[in-house]
Structure 1
Amino acid sequence: MARTDRLMRLMDALRRLPAPVTAARLAEETGVSPRQLYRDIATLRAGGALIDGEAGLGYRLIEDGALPPQSFSRLEIEALQLAVGALPRIGDAALIEAANTALSRIAATLPEPQVQHLMHSVMRSFGPQSTRAEPSVDMALIRRACWAEDELSIRYRDLQDRDTERVIRPLGLSLSEHSMMLLGWCLLREDFRIFHCNRILSVECTGQSFRPHRVRLLRDYVAARRECDAAPPM
């Protein structure tokens, strides 16, 4: 294996595997002897990579900005292009812009042959643009609440056109060509609810964190869905 390819595989392993990663595991991932692995770690460090750890303790990648660009297989490039190309049918404007920006940043780190692969990808997503009603509220605020695990106070118009006010614990967003949905635990109903984002009339953060409860709520929701899917049809 060429030296550059070997070092790139080592970098990829350091990025992917839970740290600290033992030298034996890294040697297995890269297909080299432990002695060669130690030399490759030293080479990466000399090239500017900040790699914490030592033999017997394992290694942790702290920073790799000074290293050669990342490499992707042709199929990985096709998958990235296809995923970004499909977003206009299911994502909102902010998500589409973020995906295109991310793809541009990835392209800027690729070797020239792989940039050409990206530009001339054979995988394309075709189909009509989304026709769903777009939300009128700030979706960035909802996303931040999901990430930060903060409760939201919302005013919501249900499918019977009744307006209610609720406090929810937002757990995640679901996107499709026809709808953008928010999964949350509703404190008013004391149960899981899926809200149509275009029916949320107003939203604001309460400042109350639900972080200690999030993992349990997600586990309970997955268990409930599995139970429902396994139930025989009526």
Structure 2
Amino acid sequence: MARTDRLLRLLQAMRVLPAPLTAARLAEETGVSLRSVYRDIDSLRAAGARIEGERGYGYRLIEDGALPPQTLDRLEIEALVLGLAEVRQMGDPALARAAASALAKVAATLPDAGEQHLVHAVSQVHRFAARYPATLDLATIREGCWREEAVTIRYADAAGAVTERTILPLAIVYLDSAMAVLAWCGLREAFRAFRADRIAQARAAGTSFRPRRAALLRAYLAALKGQKGPPARERGS
């Protein structure tokens, strides 16, 4: 396989597969050796692609300049409009603003025909009420995930008992009727899923757990595999 084709194939795998991606998974998907994956990731980084992660923890494609927005076809534009519209209806004000901003940026880079498809998209989303109830500002938890920094929360369990605990936030998930924070709980010394609407307060704990987030999240998701239904929520046990 030509080197250029190999790099494009690796980029496409990183775009479409759920992150974080191990080098072994990328090697399996692209049909090359582990050594080639490591070398190609270094080449993509040198060419300007922002790829987070390292050997042993998995990789995530953050920014890719190889696919300008103007290459989107009509159906891809429909999917983009529909997805961002759904985000705006979720009930998270920060994400709603980000979705509107992202759509405006994409529109500014599309050719005239593409911009018209975006503005007059066939697919629409409308909810008479926000999908999730108003809750605390998730910025602190989101920052904790991004920066891989511990967060201290005050949390009320299903029985109403309130505890304060320090967690390692791994991801925010959007379930059918609630948002949940997947985390390693220092109080229980185990993985837990905390309902966002039961978190009364969140503040940065000032402790880094970098670069363990990708590995911890992968371990948590592996533990959830085979479970039926949503992840088990914190019960105060």
How many percent of aligned residue pairs carry the same amino acid?
A: 41
Where has structure 1 moved over 6 Å in runs of 4 or more?
none
Name the residue aligned to 2:223: 224
Deviation, 1:108, is 0.2
Name the residue aligned to 2:121: 121
Name the residue aligned to 2:213: 214
Name the residue aligned to 2:182: 183
Name the residue aligned to 1:22: 3
Name the residue aligned to 2:73: 73
CA distance in 2, matches of 1:119, 1:215: 37
Q: Which amino acid letter does the alignment assign opposite residue 185 of structure 2?
A: C
CA distance in 1, matches of 2:176, 2:221: 23
CA distance in 1, matches of 2:104, 2:8: 32
Q: Which moved more, 1:95-104 or 1:203-212?
A: 203-212
Q: In the superposition, relative to structure 1, how do residues 112 and 144 fare at CA in structure 2: closer, same or farther (>3 Å)?
A: same
Name the residue aligned to 1:202: 201
Q: Does 1:156 align with 2:137?
A: no
Q: Which amino acid letter does the alignment assign opposite residue 128 of structure 2?
A: P
Q: 1:89, 1:177 within 8 Å by CA — same for their partners in 2?
A: no
Secondary structure, aligned partner of 2:48: strand
Q: In the superposition, relative to structure 1, how do residues 58 and 81 fare at CA in structure 2: closer, same or farther (>3 Å)?
A: same
Deviation, 1:219, is 2.2
CA distance in 2, matches of 1:155, 1:162: 10
CA distance in 2, matches of 1:83, 1:157: 32
Q: 2:154, 2:164 within 8 Å by CA — same for their partners in 1?
A: yes
Q: In the superposition, relative to structure 1, how do residues 165 and 76 fare at CA in structure 2: closer, same or farther (>3 Å)?
A: same
Q: In the superposition, relative to structure 1, how do residues 203 and 23 fare at CA in structure 2: closer, same or farther (>3 Å)?
A: closer
Q: Which amino acid letter does the alignment assign opposite residue 190 of structure 2?
A: D
Deviation, 1:27, is 9.5
CA distance in 2, matches of 1:208, 1:145: 10
Q: Does 1:82 align with 2:82?
A: yes
Q: 1:167, 1:187 within 8 Å by CA — same for their partners in 2?
A: yes
Secondary structure, aligned partner of 1:62: coil
Q: In the superposition, relative to structure 1, how do residues 107 and 188 fare at CA in structure 2: closer, same or farther (>3 Å)?
A: same
Q: 2:183, 2:192 within 8 Å by CA — same for their partners in 1?
A: yes
Q: 2:69, 2:106 within 8 Å by CA — same for their partners in 1?
A: no
Q: Which amino acid letter does the alignment assign opposite residue 104 of structure 2?
A: S
TM-score using structure 2 length: 0.67
Aligned with residue 62 of structure 1, among 48, 51, 73 = 48
CA distance in 2, matches of 1:26, 1:224: 32
CA distance in 1, matches of 2:215, 2:8: 37
CA distance in 1, matches of 2:195, 2:75: 35
Secondary structure, aligned partner of 2:129: coil
CA-atom RMSD, angstroms?
A: 3.1
Q: Which moved more, 1:80-89 or 1:121-130?
A: 121-130
Secondary structure, aligned partner of 2:217: helix
Secondary structure, aligned partner of 2:187: coil
Name the residue aligned to 1:111: 111
Gap regions ≥5 residues in structure 1: 1-20, 29-56
Q: Give the greater-gyration-radius structure (CA).
A: 1
